[in-house]
């Protein structure tokens, strides 16, 4: 089957065509992503109104380009998938409404995909990773540890109680005047910094749950910066290095516990899978390899272009769901908040009907 996937949850306008074979393997036929970074850079973060308007202006041509690169027609599609949440409501409306129009006009099934589920299933597209596996999802909007037991079957082992890791990186960069997006800039500065100079906290470390909290770390960083203001270039580098090391220490502590919880509640994982833009950070990637080795499994890391938001992951999640006979009605409403445990309930209900 061949599925068109549309992604408009935040500041990437994306469309892709993905083929799923009967044996469960996948192939990306096209994957077009238009980033809005330049439009939001001046504001130090994503402005929802600007993002929605940009999706409206760009989505039709992005879909046309994806169809042309795949050399495929709408009539030949087996389904149309769109990210229906969680995300910014304006962008969700644009992408889901467009998908509904294509599905209705060409008589194709609609697949309203949970953005988090798409991240969770990407490793099956890129590496054919079998269930069950443990997922560490870290991006600008999400930080979660999940047990992935099957399509529509997810166990939340831990998550952030405030800021996501990517959000904390972006806010740190803004505080230190580095620009946007902040993650790569903080990582670059940290390479020349002294990670031991500032004694920053490791929030939630040692707790019996696998949750994260980054707001206290962010506040501690601000206080340290204010103490030594005005900041020299070396001050900025040392602050970045100290912040990044604190995040790394928190990740390894939380993930070790999350993997133990996975073994207790699910069983032996086939892999530790990472997804989300933060997974591209080399310091964090290194500790993910370490944790995977400690529990006797391997780290599966999709290519960076498929870890950040893209249409291929939406198309693949749609294909995985369609292969199980799961489709959605044309009156499906976008959901700014949509936890994965609600995906499981919806999938079960659809299967029973």
Q: Phi, psi (5° rounding) for residue 221?
A: -65, -45
Enter the pTM of the model.
0.92
The residue ranges of every structural domain in the chain are: 2-125+307-352, 131-301
CATH number for the domain formed by residue range(s) 2-125+307-352: 3.30.420.40
State the pLDDT at residue 142: 87
Q: First vs last Cα of the chain: how many Å apart?
A: 23
State the pLDDT at residue 351: 46
Which among 176, 165, 195, 196 is positioned nearest to 280, based on CA atoms?
165
Under 8 Å between Cβ of 81 and 299: no
Residue 299 CB neighbour total at 10 angstroms: 17
State the pLDDT at residue 353: 43
2-125+307-352 shares its CATH topology with 131-301: yes
Count of residues in the chain: 353
Which among 160, 221, 234, 138 is positioned nearest to 190, based on CA atoms?
234
Give, for all 353 residues of the chain, the pLDDT tens digit: 999 999 999 989 999 999 999 999 999 999 999 987 777 777 777 888 888 999 999 999 999 999 999 999 999 999 999 999 999 999 999 999 999 999 999 999 999 999 999 999 999 999 999 999 999 999 888 899 999 999 999 999 999 999 999 999 999 999 999 988 889 999 999 999 999 999 999 999 999 999 999 999 999 999 999 999 999 999 999 999 999 999 999 999 999 999 999 999 999 999 999 998 888 899 999 999 999 999 999 999 999 899 889 999 999 999 999 999 999 999 999 999 998 877 755 544 444 44
**Which class does domain 131-301 fall in?**
alpha beta
Under 8 Å between Cβ of 284 and 309: no
Q: How far is CA 37 from the centre of its chain?
A: 17
Map residue 15 onto helix, strand or coil.
strand
Q: What is the DSSP letter of 175?
A: H
State the pLDDT at residue 348: 46
Task: State yes or no: cis peptide before 132, omega within 30 of 0.
Answer: yes
State the pLDDT at residue 180: 82
């Amino acid at each position: 089957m061949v599925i068109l996937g549309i992604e408009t949850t935040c500041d990437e306008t994306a469309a892709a065509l993905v083929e799923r074979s009967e044996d469960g393997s996948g192939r990306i036929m096209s994957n077009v992503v238009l980033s809005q970074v330049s439009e939001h850079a001046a504001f130090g973060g994503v402005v929802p109104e600007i993002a929605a308007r940009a999706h409206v202006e760009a989505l039709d041509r992005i879909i046309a380009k994806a169809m042309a690169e795949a050399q495929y027609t709408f009539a030949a599609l087996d389904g149309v998938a769109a990210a229906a949440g969680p995300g910014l409501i304006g962008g969700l409306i644009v992408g889901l409404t467009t998908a509904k129009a294509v599905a209705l006009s060409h008589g194709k099934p609609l697949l309203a995909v949970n953005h988090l589920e798409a991240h969770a299933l990407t490793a099956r597209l890129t590496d054919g990773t079998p269930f069950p596996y443990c997922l560490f999802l870290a991006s600008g909007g999400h930080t979660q540890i999940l047990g992935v037991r099957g399509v529509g079957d997810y166990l939340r082992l831990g998550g952030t109680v405030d800021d996501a890791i990517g959000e904390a990186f972006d806010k740190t960069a803004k505080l230190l005047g580095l620009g946007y997006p902040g993650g790569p800039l903080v990582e670059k500065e940290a390479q020349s910094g002294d990670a031991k100079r500032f004694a920053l906290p490791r929030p939630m470390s040692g707790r019996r749950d696998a949750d994260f909290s980054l707001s206290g770390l962010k506040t501690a960083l601000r206080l340290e910066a204010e103490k030594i203001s005005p900041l020299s270039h070396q001050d900025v580098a040392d602050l970045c290095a100290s912040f990044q090391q604190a995040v790394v220490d928190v990740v390894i502590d939380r993930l070790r516990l999350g993997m133990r919880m996975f073994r207790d509640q699910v069983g032996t994982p086939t892999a530790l899978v990472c997804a989300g833009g933060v997974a591209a950070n080399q310091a964090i990637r290194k500790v993910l390899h370490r944790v995977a080795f400690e529990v006797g499994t391997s780290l599966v890391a999709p290519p960076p272009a498929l870890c950040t938001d893209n249409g291929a992951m939406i198309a693949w999640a749609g294909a995985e769901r369609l292969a199980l006979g799961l489709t959605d009605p044309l009156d499906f409403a976008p959901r700014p908040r949509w936890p994965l445990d609600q995906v499981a309930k919806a999938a079960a209900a659809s299967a029973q009907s």
